[in-house]
Amino acid sequence: MKLEALTSNTDDIIGRRPDMDGQQEILGIVSDSRKVKEGYLFVAVKGEAADGHDYIQQALRQGAAAVVIEDPAYCREGVPWLLAGSSRKVLGELLQAFLDEPSLKMRVIGVTGTNGKTTVTNMIAHILEANGKKVGLMGTIHNRIGQKVLPGSLTTPDCPELAGLFSEMAKSGMEYVVMEVSSHALAQNRVAGVEFDLGVFTNLTQDHLDFHGTMEEYLAQKSRLFSSLDPMGKKSDKKMAILNRDDPVCDELSDLCRVPFITYGLDPRSMVRAEDIRLSSQGIQYELTYLRKSFPVRMQLHGQFNVYNSLAAITVALVEGIPAETIQQALENMKPVPGRFQRVEVDAPFSVFVDYSHTPDSLKNCIITAREFCMGRIITVFGAGGHRDRTKRPLMGGIAARLSDICIITSDNPRDERPEDIIDDIMQGVRDDKVKAAVFREPDRHQAIGMAIGMALPEDVILICGKGHEDYQIIGAEKHHFDDREEAEAFIRSKLSKVQIKE
């Protein structure tokens, strides 16, 4: 593809070397100078650990036909440069164009919000597939093209990986792409060049303030998914925003939309609404009401938060014209998403659930959900990640200590922060008169899980929170295998075998 034709796909190129004619043939686009080959376009991106501008000469020595820069200081003699307002944005847009704009060949559904993204995307994909559609899925747990599972490292992949996934999905005949869109991805322009058809908002609660700084900035980045929905885009398909009516920022998001929006929730003003909700140890039941129509919904999943998750997914399905009967059957048959209030399947007189809850709101929802059916005590095991939003640590400590009967504070992914320092931050929230739990400190997560299972009595519920589906723990700079589900199962079997020996 000629450079001139390629760069016509972005309006963020704000200058270029005067003597460049744009007729260079571009054979590839990379932001990693080590991957540059003859005829490639090198995009210099400023990252957290390195600045791509420092590697421009290396890229040129390896045969780069031109370089995209965002720092005018590098517009130097002898460098075939193009100046960008944002290198990351240009990178995404050029990659999508270079790969023949694959997002235009499929309906793209983006889901953003603090909590629920993984469950909602999986629910949407499950319903679409039950209706015979071919679906690509991108998210926290993995990426999937039809039934082909691919590993993923980020909730929303970076630009090169994302463009490659879209291209592979289009070539594989996918009709839909359902993807989690994180606030980090929006802030870093990782989804630049992707034309979304539907934007779904789950909720906004405190998280990632280490990155965004304030809740206002966090919301501003989430909002970009909805303000970017373009009624005059390259696709002729209908565009729509799907918003949680019960979240306080709903009106603010709807004001940003240039496309129609539809709301869901429990609020009587919601266009798609859940009524007569019944929560039990067997799951969820409610009546779904929309456009003067209704049908019953039954699921094996637990908790009011999954009422909201299912409402979001159902609203997408209704917008896409999927019959009510298909939606009902798909949700009734759906199993829990790995690490999302997932029961450890060992026959024991007590129950153990593993959950990804790592924000104050999600931890609260997790414990409240367990309280709905727990006949004994709730024992909560949780920690907080190192070098992540410190302000949420005491909030989580207070929630766990007020809502649980026993609380064991431990490590999550401490990285190179001292686990004891993280626990100290969490403990700041448990020093008030409303705390009712017995609180223990155990920095070793393995030992903490063993402690919880060791003290469990019949009808108790143990919640192991924070890591969910993750099968690793990051200590220092090293990533060790660690799976909460495996750890819990091993301790349960050990405890049960000792009981049998005594009997």
Give 279-309 pLDDT, tens digit per residue: 887 789 999 999 999 999 999 998 889 999 9
Q: pLDDT tens for residues 446-476?
A: 999 999 999 999 999 999 999 988 888 999 9
Q: Identify the band that residue 211 occupies on the pLDDT scale cut at 50, 70 and 90.
A: low
- CA–chain centroid gap for 71, Å, is 31
If DSSP codes are grouped into helix, strand and coil, which group holds residue 159? helix
For residue 407, give Cα distances in angstroms to 1, 318, 377.
60, 42, 11
Domains and CATH numbers, the chain: 3-98 (3.40.1390.10), 102-333 (3.40.1190.10), 342-502 (3.90.190.20)
| Alpha carbon distance 445, 282 (integer Å) | 30
Residues 109-117: what's their mean pLDDT?
92
Of 468, 472, 471, 481, the closest CA to residue 117 belongs to 468
- Which residue is listed with tokens 């909805």? 226
Residue 215 main-chain phi, psi, to 5 deg: -65, -30
Amino acid at site 139: G
| Alpha carbon distance 325, 144 (integer Å) | 26
| Alpha carbon distance 180, 178 (integer Å) | 7
Residues 259-269: what's their mean pLDDT?
96
If DSSP codes are grouped into helix, strand and coil, which group holds residue 3? helix
If DSSP codes are grouped into helix, strand and coil, which group holds residue 322? coil
| Alpha carbon distance 36, 40 (integer Å) | 6
Residues 157-166: what's their mean pLDDT?
89
| Alpha carbon distance 180, 217 (integer Å) | 19
179 within 8 A of 142, measured Cβ to Cβ: no
pLDDT > 80? residue 96: yes
Kindly report the number of other CB atoms within 10 A of residue 293's CB atom. 9
What is the helix (H) or strand (E) element at residue 455, kind and residue range?
Answer: helix 445-455
**Close Cβ partners of 494 (under 8 Å, ≥ 6 residues apart):** none
Structure tokens, 252: 């603010």
pLDDT at 497: 84
pLDDT at 125: 97
Start-to-end C-alpha separation, the chain: 76
pLDDT > 60? residue 501: no
pLDDT > 90? residue 215: no
- 445-455 helix and 484-502 helix, angle to the nearest 10 degrees: 40
Q: pLDDT tens for residues 331-348?
A: 999 988 888 899 898 989
User: CA 50, 55, 57 angle in degrees (round to 5)?
Assistant: 165
Q: Identify the sign of the CA torsion 40, 42, 43, 47.
A: positive
Q: Identify the band that residue 443 occupies on the pLDDT scale cut at 50, 70 and 90.
A: very high
Q: Identify the band that residue 431 occupies on the pLDDT scale cut at 50, 70 and 90.
A: confident
- Residue ranges of the alpha helices (H) in 286-403? 304-319, 324-333, 360-371, 392-403
Q: Identify the sign of the CA torsion 234, 236, 237, 239.
A: positive
| Alpha carbon distance 188, 120 (integer Å) | 23
Q: Identify the band that residue 189 occupies on the pLDDT scale cut at 50, 70 and 90.
A: confident
Query: What share of the chain in percent tops pLDDT 90?
Result: 69
pTM: 0.82
pLDDT > 80? residue 154: no
Q: pLDDT tens for residues 226-260?
A: 988 999 889 888 899 999 999 999 999 999 999 99
pLDDT at 332: 96
Structure tokens, 131: 């209706």
| Alpha carbon distance 228, 224 (integer Å) | 6
Q: For residues 47 and 275, which has the higher predicted lDDT (pLDDT)? A: 275
- Tell me the CB-side half-sphere exposure of residue 352, using CA atoms within 13 A: 28
Sheet containing 342-343, strands listed edge to edge, beginning at the edge strand earlier in sequence: 342-343, 351-355, 461-465, 378-382, 406-409, 438-441
pLDDT > 70? residue 23: yes
pLDDT at 210: 58
Q: pLDDT tens for residues 5-17?
A: 999 889 889 999 9
pLDDT at 213: 67
Candidate from 57-71, 197-211, 312-326, 464-478 with smallest mean pLDDT: 197-211
| Alpha carbon distance 157, 33 (integer Å) | 19
pLDDT at 206: 64
pLDDT at 50: 87
pLDDT at 433: 64
pLDDT at 438: 93
Q: pLDDT tens for residues 386-400?
A: 988 899 999 999 999
Amino acid at site 345: E
112 burial type by CB count under 10 A (0-12 exposed, 13-18 middle, 19+ buried): buried
- Which residue is listed with tokens 């049908």? 295
Kindly report the number of other CB atoms within 10 A of residue 347's CB atom. 6
pLDDT at 153: 63
For residue 179, give Cα distances in angstroms to 147, 199, 477.
15, 10, 29
Structure tokens, 57: 């000469």
Q: In sequence order, what E strands does 31-90 have?
A: 40-43, 66-69, 81-84
Average pLDDT, the chain: 91
DSSP string, 220-280: HHHHHHHHT--TTSS--S--EEEEETTSTTHHHHHHH-SS-EEEEESSTT-SEEEEEEEEE
Candidate from 198-202, 270-274, 346-350 with smallest mean pLDDT: 346-350
pLDDT at 140: 82
